[in-house]
Amino acid sequence: MKPYRSMLFVPGHKGSWADKGVASGADALILDLEDSVPAADKIEARGTVAATIDRLTAEGVRPDLWVRANPEVSGLLGGDLEAIVRPGLAGLFLAKVFTADEIVRLDAVLSHIEHREGIEVGTVQLIVSFETAVSMAHCEEIAGASPRVASLLGATGPNADVGRELGFEFTPAGLETLYLRSRIILAARANGLHHPVTGVWQDIKDLDGARRFCLDNRQLGYRGLVAIHPSHVAIANEVFSPSPETVDYCRRMIAAFNEAEAAGSAAVDFEGQHIDLAHVKTARGVIALADAVSANA
């Protein structure tokens, strides 16, 4: 999956709001058919989302377009898929998953629709949001359930599905979710998913808090933020982009190691730090991430 620094939710039944999402500079938009759409509008919202995907794709917008469909347990998922799987859809953001079997079933349905519609099978990717206790207990199985699974979301937030399921009380420091977020990181990395995303920060006005939230999760291993407000996008884009200073440091490290290696040493004292090939591999990864972010932006 591309390194999305920011993925912004847009209510699916408000087609014009997608333009605000594009203007925010988000790397991806998540057109929502689930919680942000009133029950009475869910069927009509399918057509609005489909039209939005067609319009923005025709306009060649930069952000990739994802859809949060209604979960399987709602009875609405099948109709959502029939309406919105089309050229221009990057993937599905999955809410309220329970087991890996759901992913396997969804994979089969998507393959059928893609084949029928002349879309290359496997095009539609999946991001799994862990919002149920059962899914969290089986996150490793879910992460490996299908090649379509491109990323995992370590979700937090006050008074929402995750907190209700686990019974914790949200704090900005996040100790109550540290185990959960760490386990999701491990599940992602163990299955070759290198760009797990975190979310959400619900306090729209506390931008300093949003920045701390992004920094804390970046340090834990997350690579982007699922945002609920455009004001959080620029913060996420900055925090989850390797800084020029960091990239320059990594380039200097690689150069110093290459020089030492050419002289017959496999380790070197670099600016007061002992480094060897393991450190250089990490530095190369940082540069690769920076290059990928730059290409996507």
Whether the per-residue pLDDT at 236 is higher than 80: the answer is: yes
Burial status of residue 129 (CB atoms within 10 A of its CB: 0-12, 13-18, 19 or more): buried
pLDDT tens track for 248-273: 999 999 999 999 999 999 999 999 99
Query: How is residue 132 written in tokens?
Result: 């149920």
- Which pLDDT value is given to residue 162? 84
Whether the per-residue pLDDT at 169 is higher than 80: the answer is: yes
Any binding-site annotation on 35?
no
Decide: 257 and 277 in contact? Cβ < 8 Å: yes
Fold category of 6-240 in CATH = TIM Barrel (3.20.20)
Decide: 237 and 27 in contact? Cβ < 8 Å: yes
Nearest residue to 157 (alpha-carbon basis) of 131, 194, 136: 131
Any binding-site annotation on 68?
yes
**Residue 228 phi, psi dihedral angles, 5° rounding:** -110, 0
State the pTM of this model.
Answer: 0.94
Whether the per-residue pLDDT at 179 is higher than 80: the answer is: yes
CA distance 50 to 279: 46
Any binding-site annotation on 291?
no
Length of the chain: 297
Q: Where are the domains of the chain?
A: 6-240, 244-296
